[in-house]
Amino acid sequence: MLVAALLAAWSGPAAALMPYVYEAARRDAASVIVIAVQKVTPPRESFGACTVAGTVARVERGAAYKPGQAVSITVPCAGPGASPPLGGTIWQPVDTLAKSRFGRAYLDAAGQVVLSQYEQLTAP
C-alpha cells in the first residue's frame, strides 16, 4: 500500500516537474509540427491559454498535418506580472510568444499540445 500511495503522489503536478516526464511527452506525441506563426491571441486574464494560429511549415512526425495547412492551437501563456499557479505547466511569456515567427508543437491525437510542449523558434 505504501508503494501505491507513493506512486499516486508522483502522478500529479509534481511529477510533471521532472524532466523525464516532458521528454516522454515529446517522444510519445502523435504529431510534431513546426508552425509559421501568423497571430497570437492572449487570454483575457493575466495567464491562461494563448491561441497560436498560423500554417504548418514542416511536419516532423505524424500524418495528421500537411505543410501549408492552417492550424490553431492553444499554448499556456502568462503576461508580465502574472502569478500562475505552481505546477508542471510551462507558461510561455505572452510578449515573446506574440513576437515569435515559428514554433514547434508536440500534439496528441486530438491536436492538443501535450504537457505544455511548445518551443518558440527563430527559423523553421
Q: What is the pLDDT of residues 52-90, one digit of tens each?
A: 999 999 999 999 999 999 999 999 999 999 999 988 999
The whole-model pTM stands at 0.85
CA distance 43 to 52: 11
Residue 54's contacts (CB-CB under 8 Å, 6 or more residues apart) are: 35, 36, 37, 38, 39, 70, 71
pLDDT score at 100: 96
pLDDT at 3: 36
